[in-house]
Amino acid sequence: MTTRTLRIVLLLGLLLLFFGGSYTQARELQRPMPRPQTALVPTIYINQSFDSPNFPPANWATTIITATDTPEPEWTHVTSATRPTAQPHSGAGMAHFNSYSTSNGNAARLSTALTPTTTVLRASFWYYHSAIFPTSADTLLVQTSNDGQNYTTRASYPRYRATDGWTQYQLDLPFASVGQQFYLGFLGISDFGANLLIDDVVIQDTPPIEIFGTTSNQGCAGDTLLYPLSVRNNYPNSQTINLNLAPSAWPSSLPFNTLTIPAQSSRPITVSVRIPATAQPRTSDQTTLQLSNELVELNQAIVTNCSLGHWLDREDSLLAARYSAVVSADGALFQIGGQGPNNNSPALPNTLRYQPNTDSWQQRAPLPIATFGTDAATLNGEIYLVGGYRNGGSTTTGLISDLQIYSPTLDVWRSGPNLPTPLAYYQAAVLAGKLYIIGGSNGNNALASVWIFDPASQQWTAGPAMSTARAFASAGVVDNKLYMAGGTATISNQTALDTMEFYDPSLNVWLAAPNLPRRQMQGGDAQILDRFFVITTGYSMPVVASNSSLIFDQQTNEWSEVLLNSSRYGAEADSINDTVFVVGGRQFANNTFTMSSRNESFQICRFVLTTATPTPTNTHTATATVTNSPTNTPTAITSPTNTNTPTISPTPTNSQMPTATSSATISLTPTNSQTPTITTTPPSSTPTHSPTATLSQTPTTSATPPTNTPTATQPIGLRKVFLPLVGNQAR
């Protein structure tokens, strides 16, 4: 090879090496890069609890907007508050606007600045509502601004509410500009009422994928429950989401396996879960809805509970009111009196009758004395209504002690002997043919007193007082015992109780009973099957209005829960033929309280009905001949041996002493290899469910034992589990 040829070869090799390496590098750059994974944990820009006395905090400002006189409106830091009396929602401090001391219309803004990295922000905060000065419209406005000067109002929250307490609010702010400064303001406006309080302000990114809807529900064994959910895509572009359900014990299914959601839009999906027919009440199962694609992975638990029953909507009452008396009589339900449409309204004179067979309401003879805050009970076919308020308000004004008696068959009211003292917000019950008025309020204090009315003597007498003073409580008579649950021991600052006690008339004392699962007051009450004590709706701070019905099983001493279709308090309830109805009350929706005419009924599951009152029966009996007569109530005690002879178990009635005869009928519980041995027991003067026999000889039976063992119907054992409150209300 010549030198020239060698040079050419080397040059070509160098060129090939250079261009080949460049091509390889280009191919590497053209490989698809992995898409970045978006974390579901949002960025938190503001998390302020106002705990430091240095106020306003860093990146916050206060600005007086309107000041007509002194003192000027202002936002300050406080560790506790008066007018209203309140403590911080968390930590050592809270932000305070002086509505109480500054004039009507004066306003000041508390604001903060941030620079978001997303186009959607979510703000949440806790706001204190108070019941004092109900006519003063002190208001909090939530506002936003892009320049810190010109603000736009996004939401308005009145300060007044019938019940004091903290409420959490949340709103999305889809108007932030990425990378540009953004302002959030809280504008307090005084109406010379009570002060405004806020705490725990959080501003963060909105999660990229969200699931909305009820993810916990309950039904009877054999029911199929549907969970209508909504999946939202907060990304700026369309997303295709893969759907899957994790394995679960109870069958569950999806309508499809993929879901395409346009940018910043929502799409529905329904999950189906079937409760097996063999499931027992108070059991539950969980499946998990799994959403995923290249960007996200999100799991949502779905919990299904096997319940004692469920609530159904019925025909609404003709009247929207709270604190009515609701009572059943003559196969119908009656709603008597009440208050509406607001806190200061006078009592209503209505007597309304609901016929469950036609699902309809009718007007009946009005009350002679209109009243609210009463309870009613049916005694000897007539409805007894005692005391209550005639006027609105929470003082002793208009508090009465009158006894009003109604005949459902004649549609006539008449008067009876007055209660010895004016009362309201008590509980009424009938026990052993007498009317009991338990607890309540005298306008200033909750009471532990018990008054008993005897219709035969037409006299009131004092009964044994409860261990705890209770107003706004719930009462029920189950198994000849009078239960009193929840309520409040104070009137001025109503704090719900979670205790329960019962009155045993045979001992004439009050005894402790299992506590409620949580604090509860202003709920309705009823009983089912002489076994279940039901407390419907009510409220327990910080929950303002509840859709919970708590059910106490007297046989097992267990609580469980079944949710109504609406949230209410101040409603009343009673049962007709083992169906509970709850009527009226005060609803809370869209940050507004309204009087309700809602009527719902509780249907107990068929499974519970078939096992609530078991009656044991034996399938095999034999007759034995005895050489002497038993002298007392007999029971056989067996000692097994290796022969095939039945076990003898005589079972007399519990209401009278047995009569001795020359022959006895003996219930046999045979086995394959047992011989009974009869032992003697000293006579007993009181018959029991487990009687004892005195026999001097072993009887000779004429029965041939069968090869199988007879069984008796028994109640199915229930797990001691309380089903927690389900729902998505932030309170």
Cβ proximity of 539 and 163 under 8 Å: yes
pLDDT of 705 higher than 50 = no
For residue 402, pLDDT beyond 60: yes
**Confidence check: pLDDT of 694 > 80:** no
- Cis peptide upstream of residue 56 (ω within 30 degrees of 0): yes
pLDDT of amino acid 2: 53
Instruction: Choose between 161 and 382: higher pLDDT.
Output: 382
| pLDDT of 678 over the 70 cut | no
pLDDT (mean) for 391-405: 80
Q: Mind listing the pLDDT tens digit for each residue in 235-270?
A: 878 999 999 999 999 999 999 999 999 988 999 999
Where residue 506 falls among pLDDT bands split at 50, 70, 90?
A: very high
Q: What is the pLDDT of residues 655-665, one digit of tens each?
A: 333 333 333 33
Region 694-720: mean pLDDT is 35
Q: 133, 194 in Cβ contact below 8 A?
A: yes
- Binning the chain into helix, strand and coil, the percentages to the nearest 5 are 5, 45, 50
The pLDDT of residue 396? 52
**Rg for the chain (alpha carbons), in Å?**
36
How is the chain split into domains, by residue range? 44-205, 209-307, 310-611
Burial (CB count <10 Å: 0-12, 13-18, 19+), residue 535: buried
Q: Which residue has the higher pLDDT, 310 or 729?
A: 310
Read off the pLDDT band of 393 (50, 70, 90).
low
pLDDT at 612: 58
* Ranges 221-225, 487-491, 693-697: which has the least confidence: 693-697
Query: From 3.40.50.1380, 2.60.120.200, 3.30.70.100, 3.40.50.720, which CATH number describes the 44-205 domain?
Result: 2.60.120.200
pLDDT band at 388 (very low <50, low <70, confident <90, very high): very high
Q: How many Å apart are CA 320 and CA 595, to the nearest integer? A: 5
Rounded average pLDDT over 158-168: 90
Share of the chain above pLDDT 90, in %: 64
Determine the pLDDT at residue 587: 87
User: How many residues can be counted in the chain?
Assistant: 731
Are residues 658 and 652 in contact, defined by beta-carbon separation less than 8 angstroms?
Answer: yes
Give the tens place of pLDDT for each residue, 49-103: 999 999 999 999 999 999 998 999 999 999 999 999 999 999 999 999 999 999 9
Among 4-18, 254-268, 391-405, the minimum mean pLDDT is found in: 4-18
Task: Over range 413-433, report the average pLDDT.
Answer: 97
Q: How confident is the model at residue 178 (pLDDT cuts 50, 70, 90)?
A: confident
Please answer whether residues 221 and 278 qualify as being in contact, where contact means their C-beta atoms are separated by less than 8 angstroms: yes
b/e 326-347 (16+ beta carbons within 10 angstroms → b): bbbbeebbbbbbbbbeeeebbb
- Torsions phi, psi for 659 (to 5 deg): -100, 130
State in Å, rounded, how far the first CA of the chain is from the last one.
93
- Highest mean pLDDT: which of 18-22, 43-47, 609-613, 727-731? 43-47
- At 482, give phi and psi (nearest 5°): -100, 115
CATH topology (fold) of 310-611: Neuraminidase (2.120.10)
Residues 6 or more apart whose CB falls under 8 angstroms from that of 321 comprise: 335, 337, 338, 339, 340, 348, 350, 372, 584, 595, 597
What's the pLDDT score for residue 628?
39
Q: Which two tokens stand for residue 541?
A: 């701070």
Q: Name residue 335's amino acid.
A: Q
Q: What six digits make up the tokens of 421? A: 């003292």
Q: Is the pLDDT of residue 583 over 80?
A: yes
Question: Can you tell me the distance from the alpha carbon of 422 to that of 419, in angstroms, rounded to the nearest whole number?
Answer: 7
Q: What confidence score (pLDDT) does residue 661 get?
A: 36
pLDDT above 60: residue 499: yes
pLDDT at residue 383, as a whole number? 98
Percentage of the chain beyond pLDDT 70 is 76
The band of 726, judged by pLDDT with boundaries at 50, 70 and 90, is: very low
* Statement: residue 684 has pLDDT above 90: no
- Mean pLDDT for 629-633 is 39
- Closest CA relative to residue 186, chosen from 151, 210, 233, 161: 151
Average pLDDT, the chain: 81
The letter for the amino acid at 728 is N
For residue 579, the SS3 value is: strand
Residue with tokens 């083992």: 578
Which of 455, 617, 541, 621 lies closest to 164 in space, CA to CA? 541
CA distance 166 to 17: 75
Mean pLDDT of 516-539: 93
**Going edge to edge, which strands form the sheet with 500-504?**
474-478, 481-485, 500-504, 509-513
pLDDT band of 41, cuts 50, 70, 90? low
597: nearest Cα among 318, 376, 312: 318
Count CB neighbours of 299 within 10 A.
13
Please give the pLDDT value at position 649: 38
pLDDT reading at 133 higher than 80 = yes
25-34, 567-576, 614-623: lowest mean pLDDT where? 25-34
Least confident of 167-181, 278-292, 553-567: 167-181
pLDDT of residue 591: 58
Q: Which CATH architecture has domain 209-307?
A: Sandwich (2.60)
| Pairing relationship of beta strands 196-205 and 224-233 according to DSSP bridges | unpaired
DSSP structure class, residue 346: P
Least confident stretch, 102-106, 133-137, 688-692:
688-692
Confirm if 334 and 327 have CB atoms less than 8 A apart.
yes
Q: Is the pLDDT of residue 721 over 90?
A: no
Report pLDDT for 668: 32
In whole angstroms, give the CA distance from residue 296 to residue 298: 6
* 340 in Cβ contact with 251 (< 8 Å): no
Residue 642 in this model has a pLDDT that exceeds 50: no
pLDDT at 177: 76
Average of per-residue pLDDT across 382-389:
97
What is the model's pLDDT at position 677? 38
Over the stretch 324-351, which tens digit does the pLDDT of each residue have?
A: 999 999 999 999 999 988 878 899 999 9
Euclidean distance between CA atoms 18 and 22, whole angstroms: 6
The most confident of 293-297, 483-487, 490-494, by mean pLDDT: 483-487
Is the Cα dihedral 226, 232, 238, 242 positive or negative? Answer: negative
Give the least confident one: 212-221, 454-463, 578-587, 701-710. 701-710
Contact 371, 387 (CB under 8 A): yes
CA torsion, ordered 566, 567, 569, 570, to nearest 10 deg: -20
CA 318, CA 597: separation in Å to the nearest integer?
A: 7
* pLDDT for res 442: 94
pLDDT of residue 544: 73
d(CA 639, CA 292): 66
